Amino acid sequence: VDTITEYQINDDSRLDKVLLRGIAVGDKIASGRVHNLKGVGKQNIHEIAFLPGDVMVAEMTDPDWEPIMKKASAIITNKGGRTCHAAIVARELGVPAIVGCDAATELLSTGQEITVSCAEGETGMVYEGRIAFTKSEHDLASLPEINTPVMMNIGSPDIAFRYAGYPAKGVGLAREEFIINNYIKVHPMALLKHQTLADQELSAYIQTLIAGYKDEETYFIEKLSYGIAKIAAAYYPNKVIVRFSDFKTNEYYNMPGGKYFEPGEENPMIGW
């Protein structure tokens, strides 16, 4: 890798312009004109007047769509996850993609100007119009050769792939409590005992979090293991050093459900 490219949204009012959310693939941003391919079958692909730079919007994709995908500035699909065809091809092409949007083909119209952002974490955002953003390139060739292996400090799996291109020799510190805060998003004990706390708002929040998982315990185990694995995958074959949680009360008190299990300490020093 000779250069690192960073994308940054510059529009503070962008949340008022959100049209869709989905699963972000990559970490880039692109603006363009929607070309909605709803109802187009494989037999009609050669008839599509898809212009270079258009944003491809479809129910889902398969290998027959690749000639069109290569022209797109971004790809949006109703269905799919991080390992679906659209996500894999988007990574290979280096274009931003948002998959699993549910109703993209219903809500986006051909000719509509939109901005597709995968630079804001795990959730991809589709904005109305052309949102202002900056693209910064950093030349790695100008960096000096050093003998000390520089390693990253990664606190959230959501940003692991965004920074994996930096000239680092792996991750020197992935704090488990940061992964719990940023990725699991609820106090571990609250997951196990929320039904005994008589807190309907907390229980409703937890039910939203664990949707699609067998139970609260499975959610915690799978999210934690997948979070660590995501960081490891981003930096493979370099080392990733994971530090187990010391459960500092000031870091866990403010999590959803934390007030039921943590004392109020401004500085717990070595933990609870």
Angle at 116 between CA 115 and CA 121, to 5 degrees: 130
In three-state secondary structure terms, 143 is coil
Taking the C-alpha atoms of residue 89 and residue 71, their distance in angstroms, rounded to an integer, is 12
Residue with tokens 């960096």: 143
Q: Which of 85, 138, 187, 194 is catalytic?
A: 85
Cβ neighbours around 77 below 10 Å, total = 28
Taking the C-alpha atoms of residue 227 and residue 221, their distance in angstroms, rounded to an integer, is 10
- Using a CB cutoff of 8 Å and minimum separation of 24, what contacts does 222-230 make? 223/183, 223/184, 224/176, 224/179, 224/180, 224/183, 224/184, 226/157, 227/157, 227/179, 227/183, 227/184, 228/157, 228/174, 228/176, 228/179, 230/157, 230/160, 230/161
Closest CA to 161 of 99, 80, 251, 82: 82
Handedness of CA 254, 189, 219, 172 (dihedral sign): positive
46 flagged as catalytic:
no
If 0-12 CB within 10 Å is exposed, 13-18 middle and 19+ buried, where does residue 28 land?
buried
Calculate the alpha carbon distances from 50 to 111, 208, 265 in Å: 11, 39, 59
Q: Which residues are catalytic?
A: 85
